[in-house]
A and B are shown apart, each in its own frame.
Chain A
Amino acid sequence: MEYVLQTQALGKNYRKFTALENLTMSVPRGAVYGLVGKNGAGKTTLLRLICGLQRPSYGTYSLYGHNQEDPDIIKARRRMGAVVETPSISLDMSAENNLKQQCRVLGLPDFSCVPELLELVGLGGAGKKKAKNFSLGMRQRLGIAVALCGDPDFLVLDEPVNGLDPQGIVEVRELVLKLNRERDITVLISSHILEELHKLATHYGFIDSGRMLRQISAEELEATCRKCVRIDVSDTQAAALVLDGMEAEYKILDGKQVDVYDAANTGKLVQALSEGGCEVYSVQNHDESLESYFLSLVGAGKGGEGHA
């Protein structure tokens, strides 16, 4: 397998604080690699190192096979774009000028890519507008457009949906998927919003306290985890009695919600609950596999009372 990025026992210390510790990871070409971790887990530090904003305290990383000390890593960097933390845009410039400015930084011969990029990120009508007047979502999309200048084939996105409204989240998600599928761009995306990552990632890296806990592909994760249905009920006590009677595996989340695992026949389940005096308000397939998997990895699974 060809890897765009590989790190080997990478570490970063800030005086006495260890932000990254012996982190080894590999991002395959063509993947959407989801970097999963709590706040402060070391995700942004890792991305800063990869982008050359900081130097590792120890360990190495390579981009397209070029080690960080290799002078040719400059060429490898030309093939990447990044949005680390906040979008890197000049607030006093229009969207169009921000892109032109990045074209100059890259030494592109002309600005022909600018209208296309603005269209791609959904800012086609806002090219003349100053970035300081943009909403958070628009700034985020402009940041991605800037990162896409120079036609990179590796995109690094740090918490791209943080602070976005639901529509903004969907737009960024669709954009990332489009870039990955249509332009074959490898994406390394960090997030602590697991539900969102689950809709995007083809590979995962779980990071906690600066250490890589596990790397796993989406297929492997699916195989490891189970599906469940999440039911909103009037009385969880009554529901528990019914589910115990059915010998179902379930988990009570709070006073109104129950997750039922491996529920083959939802209709039968709803009928049984109704007959047991438990009113069912809603039933939805809930894929909490990534969340459960992550919590089990970091050893913080305190989401509710489990029954089998």
Chain B
Amino acid sequence: MRKLLSANLYAMFRSKRFWIGLFMMAATAVYMVVDINKMKRLAAELDSGLFQSAILLFILLPALGALFINTDYHDGTIRNKLTVGHTRARIYLSNLITNCAAGAIYIAAYEIIYLLVGFPLLGGLSRPQEFLIKLGILLLVFLSLTAIFTLLATMITNRSVLLYCALLGVGLVLAAQMLNARLAASEMVDDYGGVSFTTNEDGTVTTHYLDKNGNPIKPEDIPRVPNPSYVKEPMRSFLRTVNNIQPGGQLVEILEDGHEEPDGSKPQTPYWQLAAYALATSLVFTGAGILLFRRKDLK
């Protein structure tokens, strides 16, 4: 494994794509500090931009990681590893670790540059302990994302996998936001036919509610009916669990400090739970990946 890692890391560090990715992360860090500095009057603080690069990395890392694995197939160099006796499990794990290392380097690059540039302009961190905890969870989230795209990139050998992997990151985050929006829908909604607005002489606007027949109705008399968009149990718990497990959902949970509930509250899934889900996802996908790769016919 050490030999394969040495070869992989060498290939990664001499790849232009890796350095372009690193430059993008560094540039994003500087841009975030400057952007937050512009909003300083709105009580913007250093903490607010700490993890804003994660969404970019959710697209960048799967695309670059998949390209790294796919190049091994494309150039045929994976044959050099198998022919000389490296097991498929070792090859798979070394690719996974290399991609994880790339992810960790990108996150570290962003955080270091963000903090170095941010300290003089935006002051110190107000919640350093929380930063460290979130950083730890974020690394685990990227571990699970890497486990998923490593499986995809190992099993699909043609170049189309790069697109699938780039879309995977976006898809997971979008799916998480859609699920969160559905789960935030209230159980009961006002049932009125329409709304009209009147502008008063003093410039204020009065809202008039109308019933289904177009007659005016007082706000307190508006009937409440069950919301068809409300997600009932047990589907509710299931979808919440899905969002807590999938890396996109975990990322949104970290970035938004929790999720909205229909009653307006914003509970947070415990960090230990997110960490456990991320580890379990990584283990399941890696195990499945190794099993499938062992059976895969290579050319």
Contact = CB atoms under 8 A, between A and B. Distances in A.
Interface of A: 14, 48, 51-55, 73-78, 80-82, 84-93, 97, 100-102, 104-107, 146-147, 150, 156
B80 interface: yes
Nearest to B72: A90
6 contacts: A53-B82, A53-B299, A76-B85, A104-B7, A105-B84, A147-B80
A91 B77 CA distance: 10
A80 B84 CA distance: 6
A74 B7 contact: no
B83 A85 contact: no
Contacts of A156: 83
B218 interface: no
B297 interface: yes
B86 A105 contact: yes
B7 A105 contact: yes
Given A53-B299, A88-B80, A104-B10, A78 B85 contact: yes
B6 A106 contact: no
Report, nearest first, the 4 A-B pairs whose CB atoms are least far apart: A77-B85, A88-B76, A107-B3, A104-B7
A88 to B, nearest CB: 4
Interface in B167-181: none
A40 B78 CA distance: 23
A106 B3 contact: yes
B3 A82 contact: no
Contact of B80 (A73, A75, A93, A102): A102
Nearest to A71: B87
Contacts of B298: 48, 53-54
Contacts of A104: 3, 6-7, 10
Interface string B1-45: 011101100110011000000000000000000000000000000
A105 B82 CA distance: 10
Contact of A107 (B2, B76, B80, B295): B2
A82 B83 contact: yes
Nearest to B78: A88
Contacts of B71: 90
Contacts of B78: 88
Contacts, number: 87
A105 B85 contact: no
A97 B15 CA distance: 13
Contacts of A75: 85
B235 to A, nearest CB: 39
A106 B84 contact: yes
B14 to A, nearest CB: 8
B292 to A, nearest CB: 13
Contacts of A53: 79, 82-83, 297-299
B298 to A, nearest CB: 4
A151 to B, nearest CB: 11
B83 A51 contact: yes
Contacts of A86: 76
A258 B40 CA distance: 95
B11 A90 contact: yes
Contacts of A76: 85
A78 B297 contact: no
B282 to A, nearest CB: 26
B221 interface: no
Nearest to A89: B75
B108 to A, nearest CB: 24
Contacts of A54: 297-298
A55 B297 contact: yes
A105 B4 contact: yes
B81 interface: yes
B297 A101 contact: no
Q: In this complex, which of A53, A55, A82 has the most chain B Cβ atoms within 10 angstroms of its Cβ?
A: A53
Nearest to A77: B85
Contacts of B15: 92
Nearest to A100: B10
Contacts of B83: 51-53, 77, 80-82, 84, 147, 156
Contact of A77 (B10, B11, B84, B299): B84
Nearest to B74: A91
A23 B85 CA distance: 23
A105 B79 contact: no
A146 B80 contact: yes
A102 B297 CA distance: 22
Contacts of A91: 75
Given A101-B11, A105-B84, 5 more contacts: A55-B297, A88-B75, A88-B77, A89-B76, A102-B80
B98 to A, nearest CB: 13
Nearest to A97: B14
B10 A74 contact: no
Nearest to A101: B7
Contacts of B299: 48, 53, 85
Interface string B257-274: 000000000000000000
